[in-house]
């Protein structure tokens, strides 16, 4: 796989999008096991309903992990210098999340040539779920 270089990247370039299958209970249970996040609001329907939710919903860190996957399918993980997000909405069962990214700045940071990338996850209705940015070192 060929990774982008600083000279090959332009402001406005888009990362290859990551389209995910609709969120289901199995996905939530597997992530709970892998992450150790066993908060019942994500895996116990009765608990979620008692908390005022219509059903269980995705862990916020699962959504952040998907954005991390978007980035690491573009560059090796070792090139990530910073990754920050803001949670903007709940990802419900059945939501088909699409993760996108766009280069918004080229800069030097701590002696490295870097790009700042805005990332976004949205459901199939175009509603933002998580927005953020990453600082990526490029050779």
Tens of pLDDT, residue by residue, the chain (139 residues): 689 999 999 999 999 999 999 999 999 999 999 999 999 999 999 999 999 999 999 999 999 999 999 999 999 999 999 999 999 999 999 999 999 999 999 999 999 999 999 999 999 999 999 999 999 999 9
* CATH number for position 17: 3.10.129.10
113 occurs within a structural domain = yes
pTM: 0.96
Name the one residue in this structure whose structure tokens are 């329907």: 45
Q: What are phi and psi of 46, to 5 degrees?
A: -60, -45
Name the one residue in this structure whose structure tokens are 């991390």: 68
18 occurs within a structural domain = yes
Distance CA 2, CA 62 (A): 27
Position 96 scores a pLDDT of 99
Element (H, E) at 47: helix 45-50
87 occurs within a structural domain = yes
Helices 60-72, 25-35: axis angle to 10 degrees equals 80
Distance CA 65, CA 49 (A): 26
Position 138 scores a pLDDT of 98
The parent domain of residue 66 ranges over 13-23+60-137
Domains held by the chain: number: 1
């Amino acid at each position: 796989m060929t990774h982008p270089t600083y000279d090959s990247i332009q402001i406005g370039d888009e990362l290859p999008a990551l389209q995910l299958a609709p969120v289901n209970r199995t996905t939530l249970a597997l992530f709970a096991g892998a992450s150790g996040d066993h908060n019942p609001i994500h895996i116990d329907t009765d608990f979620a309903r008692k908390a005022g939710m219509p059903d269980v919903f995705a862990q916020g860190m699962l959504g952040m992990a998907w954005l991390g996957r978007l980035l690491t399918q573009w560059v090796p993980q070792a090139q990530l210098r910073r990754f920050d997000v803001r949670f903007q909405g709940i990802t419900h069962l059945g939501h088909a999340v699409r993760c996108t990214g766009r280069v918004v700045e080229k800069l030097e940071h701590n002696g490295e040539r870097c790009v700042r990338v805005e990332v976004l996850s949205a459901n199939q209705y175009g509603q933002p779920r998580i927005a953020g940015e990453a600082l990526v070192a490029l050779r």
